[in-house]
């Protein structure tokens, strides 16, 4: 277990709370939580921080998924197969990252995110709930998309929540609030797959992880309530801001 003083407990709890809140509204909580962990615990092994981060994030994501599903029930016959494929994809991605260089994808990622940002900003995506009427077609699109995004999450990771939101808004015609539960469920599945790998490697600090999980869960409940109260237009604006920040971060990671 990592030796922590009271100020570190407080800082990491606050980071997890903020990450859960932001992640529940638009995704991208990892932009807050993981950097704070690396800054506050520079002596810790990276794998231990990554595994502990996954445990904490899983609690908030699962809690937010449950809350959204209660208020905006997803089409389960479409979403459940996609969630399973996200799990399989993430497990495959976690295996592939040890065998395939990630550099080409890291260089391409900011350009992909920039294209998605512009595409979404100059369209009405996510403001109206108008699902495609063909359920079989939706099942195929959701399954293939979630499997590919799950693979990406296991392989690299940044922006997974944003990609899942875009899958359901652009691919299936959902608004942002109806896309929230399916996207969160896909993220839960990919997080579980990654967490299993970290647990197998004994790379989780359970004491810290459970403390941050409680904080992240609390933030997730607050964030999902804010999003449901404010509506899809508000969530869309926050989403565009998040993806803009992701573009800046991934450009900096890849090229500077």
Q: Which domain holds residue 139?
A: 6-255
Q: Is residue 137 part of a domain?
A: yes
Q: What is the widest separation between alpha-carbon atoms in the chain?
A: 56
Average pLDDT, the chain: 88
Q: Is 150 among the domain residues?
A: yes
Does any domain span residue 239? Answer: yes
Give the CA angle between residues 125, 193, 77 to the nearest 5°: 50
> pLDDT tens, 166-220?
899 988 999 989 999 999 999 999 989 988 988 988 989 999 999 999 999 999 9
Is the model's pLDDT at 137 over the cut of 90? Answer: yes
Task: Please compute, for residue 125, the number of CA atoms within 13 A of its CA located in the half-sphere on the CB side.
Answer: 19
Number of independent structural domains in the chain? 1
What is the separation, in whole angstroms, between the first and last Cα of the chain? 34
Label residues 131-169 b or e (16+ Cβ within 10 Å = b). eeeeeeebbebbbebbbbbbbbbbbbbbbbbbbbbbbbb
The answer to whether position 1 is within a domain reads no
Q: Please state the rounded mean pLDDT for residues 220-234.
A: 91
Classify residue 172: in a domain, yes or no. yes
Higher pLDDT residue, 128 or 217? Answer: 217
98, pLDDT greater than 70? no
Instruction: Tell me if 104 is assigned to some domain.
Output: yes
């Amino acid at each position: 277990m990592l030796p922590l003083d009271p100020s570190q407990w407080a800082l990491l709890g606050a980071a997890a709370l903020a990450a859960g809140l932001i992640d529940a509204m638009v995704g991208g909580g990892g932009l807050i939580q993981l950097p704070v962990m690396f800054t506050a615990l520079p002596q810790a092994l990276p794998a231990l921080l990554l595994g502990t981060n996954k445990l904490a994030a899983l609690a908030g994501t699962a809690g937010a998924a449950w809350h959204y599903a209660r208020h905006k029930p997803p089409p389960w016959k479409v979403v459940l197969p996609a969630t399973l494929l996200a799990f399989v994809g993430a497990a495959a991605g976690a295996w592939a990252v040890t065998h395939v260089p990630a550099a080409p994808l890291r260089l391409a990622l900011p350009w992909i995110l920039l294209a998605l940002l512009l595409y979404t900003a100059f369209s009405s995506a996510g403001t109206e709930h108008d699902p495609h009427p063909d359920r079989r077609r939706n099942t195929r699109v959701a399954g293939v998309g979630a499997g590919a995004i799950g693979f990406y999450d296991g392989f690299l990771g940044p922006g997974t929540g944003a990609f899942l939101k875009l899958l359901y808004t652009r691919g299936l015609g959902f608004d942002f609030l109806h896309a929230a539960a399916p996207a969160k469920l896909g993220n839960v599945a990919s997080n579980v797959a990654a967490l299993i790998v970290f647990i197998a490697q004994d790379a989780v600090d359970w004491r810290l992880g459970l403390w941050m999980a409680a904080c992240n869960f609390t933030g997730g409940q607050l964030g999902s309530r804010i999003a449901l109260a404010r509506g899809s237009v508000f969530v869309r604006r926050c989403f565009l801001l998040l993806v803009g920040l992701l573009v800046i971060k991934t450009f900096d990671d890849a090229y500077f």
